[in-house]
Amino acid sequence: MAQSFRCAGALIFSVGFIFIPALHAEISKEQQAFFRERIEPVLSDNCYKCHSPAQKVKGGLALDSREGILKGGDDGKIIVAGHPSDSMLLERLASKDPDEKMPPKDGPLSAQQLADITEWVKMGAPDPRSAPAGYDTASAKAHWSWQPLRNQPVPAVKDAVWCKTPVDNFIEAKLETAGLAPSAPADRSTLIRRAYYDLIGLPPMPWEVQAFIDDKTPKAWEKVIDHLLASPHYGERWGRYWLDVARYSDTKGDPGKKQNPLYVDAWTYRDYVIDSFNKDKPYDRFILEQLAADKLNLGPDKSALAALGFITVGDRFNGNRNDVINDEIDVVSKGFLGLTVTCARCHDHKFDPIPQKDYYSLHGIFASTVEPKDDPVIAGEGTPAEYQAYVHDRDVALNEAKKFASNSLDEIRHDFREHAAAFLLASRADGPDRVKLIKDIGGPPKIMQQLAQALGRRLNFARRDPVLGPWARYAEIPAADFAEKAPELTAEIVAANDPRFQVNSLVLSMFRNKSAPKDLQEVASRYQELFIQVDKTVEPPKPALLAMASAAAVPGALAPISAGQRDLEEVRLTPLRLDPEKEFDEKEIAQKLPPRLAIQFQQKLSAVSKVELTHPGAPKRAMVVEDAAKPQNSPVFIRGEATSKGDIVPRRFLEILSGPNRPEFKEGSGRLELAQAIASPANPLTARVMINRIWEHHFGDGFVITPDDLGTQSGPPSHPELLDYLATRFVQSGWSIKAIHKLIMLSAAYQQSSETNPAGASADPGNRLLWRYNIRRLEFEPVRDSLLYISGRLDLTVGGHPVNILSEPYSLRRSVYGFVDRGNLPEMMNQFDFANPGMPLGKRHETTVPQQALFMMNSPLMIEVVRALLKRPEMARAKTDAQRVHALYWMVYQRQPKPAEIELGIGFLKAVEAEKSHEAPLPPPSAKPADLPPGKMTKEQLIAMRKEKFQEMRKGGGFQLQNEGEKVARTPLTPWEKYTHALLMANEAVYYN
Amino acid sequence: MNPAEHRPNFADPIVTRRDFLQRTGMGFGALSLASLLGPEFLADAAMGSTNPLAPKTPPFPAKAKHVIHIFAEGAPSHVDTWDPKPELEKWAGKELPGLRGSAFPSPFKFSKRGKSGIEVSEVFPKLGEHVDEMAIVRSMYTDIPAHEVAQVFMNTGSLRQPRPSLGSWVTYGLGSENQNMPGFVVLRSGGSKPSMTACCQSAFLPGAYQGTMINTAHLRSDEIIENIHNPFMGLPEQREQLDFVHKLNEVHAAKLQKDAQLEARLEAFEMAFKMQTEASDAFDISKEPLNVREMYGTSAQGNQLLIARRLVERGVRFVQVWAGGWDNHNDIEGNLPKRAEEIDGPVSALLADLKQRGLLESTLVIWGGEFGRTVTYDRNGNEKPGRDHNNKAFSTWLAGGGVKGGHVYGATDEFGSKAVENKVHVHDLHATILALLGFDHTKLTYRVNGRDFRLTDVAGNVVRDIIA
């Protein structure tokens, strides 16, 4: 396999039950059962060994799939459906001829088995195993989701009284067809909790619940919705959903060697998303900005440039450009269009009508899009004093890095100049010879070795180097021919009339008016002399790099230097010469340094990044893109391999959405045109995909349960008419997301109780028809946020630099501001099903694992919350135990406790209190398993230990943000603390109904 | 095959009821299936299997129930360990035909070992005693000779795109037999390697299938698993508190809400409670009798493999042990035997110990790296020579768990520079491992965005010859 990625689109047929409606219609339930019970086991036990691609495919015959059986083998078809006597399959199964019979060794099948197979062929060989391969373009194009939106009429229903909004008519119509009825309305405390969690991801405060219960006006519910939609915390909740889709992360994942692993400016994209939701930015505008803010007329406020983070915050795939582009195509196509376009990277999409050339049309757009070296500043941050402090802190860190680089380079150059001849000869030598030469030089062998190696590689490309060029050319002459060929080359060098080989004047003087060198040794010696001279002549000035860098900081301030000085400097900076015109270029410096020094340098740079990432005075910068100077179309990569290029395809939109005669994109990269094609009211997918996402987050599932794929492989929508109705309204309302929230939440369907009932449970166990509201589990963020919120400690500041939300001392900020490291996602976030930032994700997993329980049971954060909660004024005001229980129920569950619950609580408190006298002492913190001897570390393990920091730094793992504050006191819990802790652990605290 | 087992989709881990309907292709339109199979079945599947780690039966009968993958990261030299190449002697120091660089014959002697008489290098005196348990694949090859990428490839079958690891797939397919422990545990000592996270990731599979990484260098019980230890109260107090939580949940269920997922959460608390003692216990090798400790040796490597056995014994599905240190660019004669000695005793002890406990039959042990090494001198020409990277040939051995012992499969060319006979690609190895565990690798799939993904992507042939 020549290339890695080999297709995300490769297709594996599952033998399971993928119901293709047409196929399903042809095969009756009885036939399916017959096949599953009587035929398939016989085939798999007796035939798959030789006739299935997973094992062998003898005679070209595969029997483990429907297609295989229909296709037959090398000898032709094996089945004539309906005609057992004409079917070779039965002939062979029944044969006694040792050359013919099947199965060849074990056979023959039992009489019953033969009879079954005969019967099955007679039935027409109904085979439910898999979908037919390939797709029928015409029928695929007819797939519902790429048909124009239809403005659906509101259906008439029998129970019109139940319907509060047109949404309800659509829901009720389906329920009536299925013979089901909607559930009763939820009570008010349930309802307001639902609304709060749905819209802002935080619970209501007790008084907010009470006010809603007491509000008897007809607009009470609407007021709650309006209040929440106007809350700045709405954007934090809904922005996070979009950040899942945008695979948001503060790190590069696989940054590539010697690259900074951090995205110090990614958070401005996160804040842009939150702000856009808060402002109810029209969704079409939201799309345009995320794809092409650089090409829009933004006016004086450039903050929308941060939107381009949508393109840039993905993984860097070790610097592989085509993988990065693939990721960009993926996020754009799944995110906005619910299309798996990246399946067409290596070949035409197997299911959806997306030809491979359409993938490369988009490839051209992103290949013609580049990132400028520096992210532009879009807004100041903090007070002027904070900014000054930031500039100072950053300069300190940066100078540290520069000083390190400059010193390292100068030291290496000095070593080189002192031993130039030996190095030059060593770089040409091989094997043990080289080792010996280097050993003779002395000095730390590792660095010497590395330098000689680096030089050796460099020399392969050094023929045109003004200083080392002549050396490289002499070194090419085989030793035996040297005496003969050297004069010729010397003359050529001295003549200096070949524009390809510009030689430094000082180097030239080593050969001009001198006899030709008699061997390579002599060339090396001459170089050695020159370098020693230069070493003496040049007073190593202020570190060259610093001079360069400070000069670059003041444009035009580079002092003019004479040609002679320049040549001197050129020799002095060999072999690690940096382009004097270039400013402090971290990438280039890192490349010049031997690996170990490069890593140390990277660590210094990382300190700079940390200041940029976290300093309150750091200006906001946008992770922008811009069009390449020369936008270009991309060729199709045959089988997805960049090395085998096929036809060049124009940059343009997908055929399935814009027809065969769609225009080519002409404006720069074409990103703006792409964005316009996506954000167009005529695009049937854009509105549907977003409406489906919104519905999912209100009900737990979308109309289509795969929010990132509305293609032919997605299940049919539960309410296609309602989806279109809402999508049409969405476009007509000017793409207002908040208007859609309100339309949905005002419906009776949304306000139903989540109580189950036998009729619904048996007819529609998955509640696809919404005969009740789904019980909803809180995700990681609202769980953590709620804990801090009800304890009165949550910091409600909106926006800002990322923080560490997981470790002690705990940050009090909302979880959406947590630092996200895609290369090293903390185990806790994994265990709580946090969205994997490796891919666009419209729907998180919802697992229940013991590690989640361990967090609730044992994490110090829980105890911090418990203690803060008990210090709230409501608790101080409560006079009796019953009143205290009452107050806790209101704060934790936002409802009145039932008398039995108060009794239960007081009973627990009393029992715990009674035991207090013989309460076990606190277990020692972090007990070591009993007297475990540490075990002698092997040498390799010791080395591995030492490499730890080194390696982690390289990939950015281990980058830790540390919060300030105090750790939770490890003191025993009081009975009230145990009780409160228990309330927080119970199911009711992490679910809403 | 039992037709009931041939409903792989139903045996898949069901994460939530909604997920059940979705992953099994039983969306709204597939309700007829419910009527076909009967409502009890659907109810069972929907209610009973919210635990992603619930143990599952593979579609095919299989001996191997557990895996210990000893990942010899760093790329061990095959011609100095498991793949003798006497022909190299004749070319010593000379340029090999068709290859760059001069031939570097192995400085180590090979001799016939075991009943099978398979030749093994002298660097593995003790492991040599176990060749009759091993199927040695001498014809492994992979796609790229760069450590990190090749390591991720060996563990996930993907070079760059994030994909679930072998351990995640196996745990997804089989669940785990011990609900008080993670199903997939990765043992490392000391620092984490950059590729390590990618090598045990669950990617698009649920987080429960992610490898739990454990640093055996500091075996503090609270570092084994996050929050495994409560610093505020003892176990009896916590028991009392949890019993009360259950009462709260009962009230909630009776008066307010009934749902399968609520019950699952309740179970998770019980598992977590037991995990606190059981997980610490599993890692506590001081509980082993002295003779067993001595058998494994008291090195960190020995401790690690002893822990691996304790985990498998407790029903953990997949244990990966990072046992690297094979990147012998220089002084292979001095360095390789040292490294080999460090694992020779402990791995031999593991095989012997598994066998004496009757666990070897059900435990698949795999040893191998991410690629092999050149048969010529390292390009950097060190004074004491080593070998460079080579993705065209390397050796991996498998033992126990239904593997045909005393067997050599495939061969490299006369010099050992590349696999030529019965070549086994990484995808093929993966397919074979899954086959040993009772899976058809083409059918152990997970649906994401309309595509069924699998460990072996679009490739993989099962090496039937090494399956007993």
Q: What is the DSSP string of B299-368?
A: BHHHHHHHHHHHHHHTT-SEEEEE------SB-HHHHHHHHHHHHHHHHHHHHHHHHHTT-GGGEEEEEE
Residue type, B24: T
Q: What is the pLDDT of residues A334-348, one digit of tens each?
A: 999 999 999 899 888
Q: Which of residues 843-862 of A touch B (CB under 8 A)?
A: 845-860
DSSP codes joined into one string, A414-428: HHHHHTHHHHHHHHH
Q: Three-state DSSP class for A387?
A: helix
DSSP B255: I
> Peptide bond preceding A384: is omega within 30 degrees of 0, i.e. cis?
no
- With CB atoms and an 8 Å threshold, state whether A713 touches B451: yes
Closest CA–CA distance from residue B248 to any residue of chain A (Å) = 6
Tokens 């094997």 identify what position? A431
Indicate whether this complex's ipTM tops 0.85: no
CB A49: neighbour CB atoms within 10 A?
Answer: 15
**Which of B219, B227, B248 comes nearest A858 by C-beta?**
B227
Both structure tokens of A830 = 């994994």
Nearest to B338 among A44, A715, A939 (CB): A939
pLDDT over 90 percentage in chain B: 59
B199 CB-near residues (< 8 Å, 6+ apart): B71, B151, B152, B154, B155, B156, B165, B186, B211, B320
- The overall average pLDDT reported for chain B is 84
Q: B43 pLDDT band (50/70/90 cuts)?
A: very low
Report the number of secondary-structure helices (H) and strands (E) in chain A.
44, 8
Contacts of A772 in chain B (CB under 8 A): none
Hey, is B439 helix, strand or coil? coil
Is B384 strand, coil or helix? Answer: coil
Nearest-10 crossing angle of helices A975-985, A860-870 = 120
Interface mutation vs chain B, best among A428, A438, A866, A940, most B CBs within 10 Å: A940
Interval B47-54 mean pLDDT = 62
CA dist., res. A737 & res. A743, Å (int)? 10
- Note the pLDDT of residue B127: 97
Given an 8 Å threshold on Cβ–Cβ distance, is A823 in contact with B197? yes
Residue B204's closest chain A neighbor by CA? Answer: A836
Q: How far apart are CA B227 and CA A289, in angstroms?
A: 42
Tally of CA atoms within 13 A in the half-sphere of A50 that contains its CB: 11
Reduced to 3 states (helix: H, G, I; strand: E, B; else coil), residue B418 is: coil
Q: Which of A808, A858, A809, A849 is closest to A829 using CA atoms?
A: A849
Cβ separation B28–A716 shorter than 8 A: yes
Taking CA A153 as the corner, what is the angle to CA A149 and CA A159, rounded to the nearest 5 degrees? Answer: 135
| Cβ–Cβ pairs < 8 A, chains A and B | 441
Contact predicate B45/B20, CB 8 Å: yes
Query: CB-CB: which of B51, B197, B283 is closest to A824?
Result: B197
Q: Which of A288-292, A454-458, B150-154, B251-255 has the lowest mean pLDDT?
A: A454-458
Cβ contacts of A701 on chain B, cutoff 8 Å: 18
State the DSSP string of A441-508: H-S-HHHHHHHHHHHHHHHTTGGG-TTTHHHHHHHTS-GGGHHHHHHHHHHHHHH---TT----HHHH
* Cβ-defined contact of A988 to B252 (cutoff 8 Å): yes
Q: C-alpha distances in angstroms, A329 versus A263, A366, A638, A653, A674? A: 20, 8, 18, 12, 11
Q: Rounded CA gap, A705 and A713, in Å?
A: 11
What are the residues whose beta carbons fall under 8 Å from the beta carbon of A279, sequence distance 6 or more? Answer: none
Chain B: residue nearest A429 by CA? B381
**What pLDDT, on the 0 to 100 scale, is given for residue A576?**
67
Q: Which residues of chain A have pLDDT under 70?
A: 1-29, 53-55, 106-107, 129-139, 257-258, 381, 430-434, 442-461, 538-563, 575-584, 595, 916-959
Cβ-based contacts of B161 with chain A (< 8 Å) = 4-5, 8, 323
- Residue A457 contacts B where some CB pair is shorter than 8 Å: no
CA distance A773 to B179: 32
- pLDDT of the residue at A107: 66
- Residue A193: burial class (beta carbons within 10 Å; 0-12, 13-18, 19+): buried
pLDDT at A874: 93
Average pLDDT of span B88-99: 87
Q: What residues of B are in contact with residue A834 (Cβ under 8 Å)?
A: 207
Is-contact B200 B168, C-beta < 8 A? yes
Angle, CA A229 vertex, CA A226 and CA A235 arms, to 5°: 175
Provide the shortest C-alpha distance from residue B258 to chain A (in Å).
Answer: 7
Cβ proximity of A277 and A869 under 8 Å: no
Decide if A514 touches B, using CB distance below 8 A. Answer: no
Peptide bond into A575 cis (omega under 30): yes
Q: Which residue has the higher pLDDT, A955 or B50?
A: B50
A711, closest residue in chain B (CA to CA): B450
Instruction: Determine the Cα angle at A920 with ends A918 and A923, to 5°.
Output: 170
Alpha-carbon span A479 to A481, nearest angstrom: 6
Smallest CA-to-CA distance from A767 within B48, B370, B27 is with B27
Chain B touched by A302 (CB under 8 Å): no
Nearest Cα to Cα of residue B1 among A317, A51, A38, A538: A38
Contact B42 A940 (CB under 8 A): no
Segment B97-124 shows an average pLDDT of 93
Asked if residue B74 lies in contact with residue B326, where contact means CB atoms within 8 angstroms, the answer is yes
For B276, the enclosing helix (H) or strand (E) is helix B260-282
Which letter does DSSP use for residue A617 in this model?
A: T
d(CA A301, CA A285): 15
Instruction: Check if A776 contacts B (Cβ < 8 Å).
Output: no
Q: Give yes or no for a cis peptide into A809 (omega within 30° of 0).
A: yes
Q: How is A41-103 classified by DSSP, letter by letter?
A: HHHHHHTTTTBSTTS-BGGG---SSHHHHHH-BTTB----TT-GGG-HHHHHHH---TTT-SS
Q: Which amino acid is at B260?
A: A
Task: Decide if A647 contacts A420 (C-beta within 8 A).
Answer: no
Q: What is the pLDDT of residue B224?
A: 65
Using an 8 Å Cβ cutoff, are A290 and A671 in contact? no
Residues 6 or more apart in contact with residue A880 via CB below 8 angstroms: none
Which residue of chain A is at minimal alpha-carbon distance from B218? A934
Return the SS3 of A324: helix
| pLDDT tens by residue, B194-248 | 677 788 888 888 878 888 888 776 665 556 678 888 999 999 999 999 999 999 9
Question: Do A670 and A365 form a contact (C-beta atoms < 8 A)?
Answer: yes
Across B325-344, average pLDDT: 92
Angle CA A609–A611–A616, to nearest 5: 135
**Given the structure tokens 């006298």, which residue do they identify?**
A917
A821 touches A251 (CB < 8 A): yes
The phi and psi torsions of A992 (rounded to 5 degrees) equal: -130, 150
